[in-house]
Amino acid sequence: MKNLLTLSIFLLLFSTSFSQTNWMVIDKKNGGKDTVSVGQINNITFFQLANSVNDIDGNLYHTVIIGNQEWTVENLRATHFNDGTPIPKVTDGAVWTQQTTGAMCAYQNNEGNVETYGYLYNGFCTSSGKLAPVNGGWRVPTSADWATLVDYIGGSADAGLKLKATFSWANGGNGNDVYGFKAFGGGYRYSMTGAFSNQGLYGYWWSSTKYAMNGSYNLILFKHQNESQINGNDKRDGYSVRFVRDL
């Protein structure tokens, strides 16, 4: 009887102590869960999450609403055009420099980079009109789409800080990601040599707007500076891709 009374008191004290700790359970997109003590949370930021969309390979992309636009918040990972045709995966640098049709690769040809940074695609892919999902109004953004995004969040002086992810950028270049855009510094592949450069330092995203005869606009988010749009890049360069649609 004495042992039973001692056990009852212990269980009462344990349950009382446990009940005083509040926990938040977070469902992760990979199906797992995280449990965090509320006392460990300094602040919580809520984004206006919208829907999700799948590419031709079935990869899932979450989306976020910013103004009157809906953007994917992960870089493209598709290995096929939207008609099912495979996109050639070119690992050899010399071969990359000679491409005159669509090609893709992982940064440093390391597939471990793809989950976070997506693949890098050349401009022949983005100008093909066959990257975005067929249904739903999705498209590779035009230069006007990028300009609309930048204008909505306050202009180029704030774009890098507000769009960049809160981690993965080197040399103190993280953003505050107040809109949930999650821009990572995916780096690029150079058209002239096929070399890779600037992962963690710079992020480059294609647009579908052609410039002159051989290039396209792309948006670049610097590590310390903010947003800048460059014209006339070689279509053999390899950059990241996002999708957008109008609401």
Task: Convert the pLDDT of each residue in 224-238 to its tens digit.
Answer: 666 777 877 899 999
Query: How many Å apart are CA 242 and CA 90, to the nearest integer?
Result: 20
pLDDT tier for residue 157 given thresholds of 50, 70 and 90: confident
How far does CA 111 lie from the centroid of its chain? 16
Query: How many Å apart are CA 56 and CA 71, to the nearest integer?
Result: 17
Q: Tell me the pLDDT of the chain averaged across its residues.
A: 85
Give the per-residue pLDDT at 17. 42
Q: Is the confidence at residue 220, as pLDDT, over 90?
A: no
pTM of the model: 0.79
Burial of 103 (0-12, 13-18, 19+ CB in 10 A): buried
Structure tokens, 189 = 């592949």
Give the per-residue pLDDT at 16. 42
Under 8 Å between Cβ of 97 and 236: yes
Give the per-residue pLDDT at 27. 59
Give the per-residue pLDDT at 228. 79
Q: Is the confidence at residue 109, as pLDDT, over 80?
A: yes
